[in-house]
Chains A and B, each alone.
Chain A
Amino acid sequence: MTKTTATMITPDSDSASAPLALPSLEIRELTFRWQSRQPALTFPDITLDAGDHLFLRGASGSGKSTLLGLLAGLNTADNGEIRLLGKSIGGLAPSARDRFRADHIGVIFQQFNLVPYLTALANVILPCQLSPVRRDRISSGASHSDTQAAIHTRAITLLTELSIPQELHSRKPAQLSIGQQQRVAAARALMGAPELILADEPTSALDSNNRDRFMQLLLEMAQQNKTSVVFVSHDSALAHHFHHQIELEQPSWLSS
Chain B
Amino acid sequence: MAILMTTRMTAHLALTLTKSSLWHRRRILLLVTLTLTLSVSLLLGIQYVRSEIRQSFTNTISNTDLIIGARSGQLNLLLYSVFHIGDATNNLSWQSYQDLKDDERLSWLIPISLGDSYNGHRVVATTGAMFEHFRYGRSQPLAVQRGQWFNDLFEVVLGADVARTFNHNVGDQLIMGHGGGSVSFARHDSTPFTVAGVLDATGTPVDQAVYISLDSMEAMHVGWESGVGIPGRTLTLEQAKQRNLTPSNITAAFAGVERKVLTFRIQRDINTYSKEPLTAILPGVALSELWRLLGQFEKALLGITGFVVVVCLISLATVLLTLQAQRSAEIAILRATGASAGLIASLYLLESLAIALLACVLALALGAAGIATVSPWLQANYGVLLTLRPLNQVEWVLLAAVPVAALVIGLVPALSAWRRGRRPGWQVLDDA
Question: Measuring CB to CB, which residues of chain A are less than 8 angstroms from any residue of chain B?
Answer: 34, 65-66, 68-69, 72, 74-76, 94-95, 98-99, 101-103, 105, 107, 109-110, 112-118, 122, 126-127, 129-132, 188, 200
- The 9 tightest CB contacts between A and B, nearest first, are A102-B338, A117-B24, A69-B426, A112-B329, A75-B424, A107-B336, A98-B340, A130-B338, A117-B20
B422 contacts the other chain (Cβ, under 8 Å)? yes
CA of A72 to CA of B12, assembled, Å: 25
A107 & B24 in contact (Cβ 8 Å cutoff): no
Residues in B with CB closer than 8 Å to A110 are 427
A118 & B341 in contact (Cβ 8 Å cutoff): no
A127 & B424 in contact (Cβ 8 Å cutoff): no
CA of A127 to CA of B340, assembled, Å: 13
| Known contacts A129-B9, A132-B5; is-contact A102 B425 (Cβ 8 Å) | no
CA of A109 to CA of B331, assembled, Å: 13
Chain A residue at smallest Cβ distance from B21:
A117
B429 contacts the other chain (Cβ, under 8 Å)? yes
Chain B residue at smallest Cβ distance from A104:
B338
What are 9 contact pairs spanning A and B, CB under 8 A?
A75-B424, A112-B330, A112-B427, A116-B329, A122-B20, A127-B337, A130-B13, A130-B338, A132-B2
- Out of B10, B337, B340, B427, name the residue touching A188 (CB < 8 Å): B337
CA of A196 to CA of B59, assembled, Å: 76
Chain A residue at smallest Cβ distance from B425:
A74
CA of A130 to CA of B21, assembled, Å: 17
| Known contacts A112-B333, A115-B333; is-contact A200 B427 (Cβ 8 Å) | yes
B336 & A74 in contact (Cβ 8 Å cutoff): yes
Could you tell me the dominant secondary structure of chain B's interface residues?
A: helix
Residues in A with CB closer than 8 Å to B329 are 112, 116
Interface centre among B16, B21, B424, B425 (most CB of A within 10 A): B424
A109 & B332 in contact (Cβ 8 Å cutoff): yes
Interface centre among B16, B23, B333, B336 (most CB of A within 10 A): B336
CA of A102 to CA of B329, assembled, Å: 18
- Out of A75, A94, A99, name the residue touching B426 (CB < 8 Å): A75
B24 & A68 in contact (Cβ 8 Å cutoff): no
CA of A132 to CA of B6, assembled, Å: 7
CA of A49 to CA of B166, assembled, Å: 95
Residues in B with CB closer than 8 Å to A129 are 9, 12-13, 16
Question: Measuring CB to CB, which residues of chain B are less than 8 angstroms from any residue of chain A?
Answer: 2, 5-6, 9-10, 12-13, 16-17, 20-21, 23-25, 329-330, 332-342, 422, 424-427, 429-430
Residues in B with CB closer than 8 Å to A66 are 426
A98 & B339 in contact (Cβ 8 Å cutoff): yes
Residues in A with CB closer than 8 Å to B334 are 115, 126
CA of A201 to CA of B23, assembled, Å: 32
CA of A188 to CA of B334, assembled, Å: 12
A116 & B24 in contact (Cβ 8 Å cutoff): yes
CA of A74 to CA of B13, assembled, Å: 21
B422 & A102 in contact (Cβ 8 Å cutoff): no
> In the assembled complex, how far is the CB of residue A115 from the closest CB belonging to chain B, in whole angstroms?
5
B330 & A115 in contact (Cβ 8 Å cutoff): yes
CA of A181 to CA of B6, assembled, Å: 29
Residues in A with CB closer than 8 Å to B20 are 117-118, 122
CA of A68 to CA of B333, assembled, Å: 14
> In the assembled complex, how far is the CB of residue A58 from the closest CB belonging to chain B, in whole angstroms?
14
CA of A94 to CA of B333, assembled, Å: 17
Residues in A with CB closer than 8 Å to B339 are 98, 102, 130
Chain A residue at smallest Cβ distance from B429:
A112
Residues in B with CB closer than 8 Å to A130 are 9-10, 13, 337-339
CA of A66 to CA of B431, assembled, Å: 11
B340 & A95 in contact (Cβ 8 Å cutoff): yes
> In the assembled complex, how far is the CB of residue B76 from the closest CB belonging to chain A, in whole angstroms?
63
B337 & A102 in contact (Cβ 8 Å cutoff): yes
CA of A101 to CA of B336, assembled, Å: 7
CA of A75 to CA of B335, assembled, Å: 12
CA of A105 to CA of B338, assembled, Å: 8
> In the assembled complex, how far is the CB of residue B5 from the closest CB belonging to chain A, in whole angstroms?
6
CA of A64 to CA of B13, assembled, Å: 32
| Known contacts A65-B427, A74-B424, A110-B427; is-contact A132 B338 (Cβ 8 Å) | no
Residues in A with CB closer than 8 Å to B426 are 65-66, 68-69, 72, 74-75, 200
| Known contacts A74-B425, A130-B13; is-contact A98 B338 (Cβ 8 Å) | yes
Residues in A with CB closer than 8 Å to B13 are 129-130
CA of A113 to CA of B427, assembled, Å: 10
CA of A115 to CA of B427, assembled, Å: 14
> In the assembled complex, how far is the CB of residue A136 from the closest CB belonging to chain B, in whole angstroms?
10
Chain A residue at smallest Cβ distance from B335:
A74
Residues in B with CB closer than 8 Å to A131 are 338
A65 & B5 in contact (Cβ 8 Å cutoff): no
A65 & B337 in contact (Cβ 8 Å cutoff): no
Chain A residue at smallest Cβ distance from B24:
A117
Residues in A with CB closer than 8 Å to B332 are 109, 112
| Known contacts A127-B337, A200-B427; is-contact A94 B5 (Cβ 8 Å) | no
CA of A5 to CA of B78, assembled, Å: 96
Residues in A with CB closer than 8 Å to B336 are 72, 74, 101, 107, 109
| Known contacts A102-B338, A118-B20, A130-B338; is-contact A94 B330 (Cβ 8 Å) | no
> In the assembled complex, how far is the CB of residue A161 from the closest CB belonging to chain B, in whole angstroms?
20
> In the assembled complex, how far is the CB of residue B18 from the closest CB belonging to chain A, in whole angstroms?
10
> In the assembled complex, how far is the CB of residue B335 from the closest CB belonging to chain A, in whole angstroms?
7
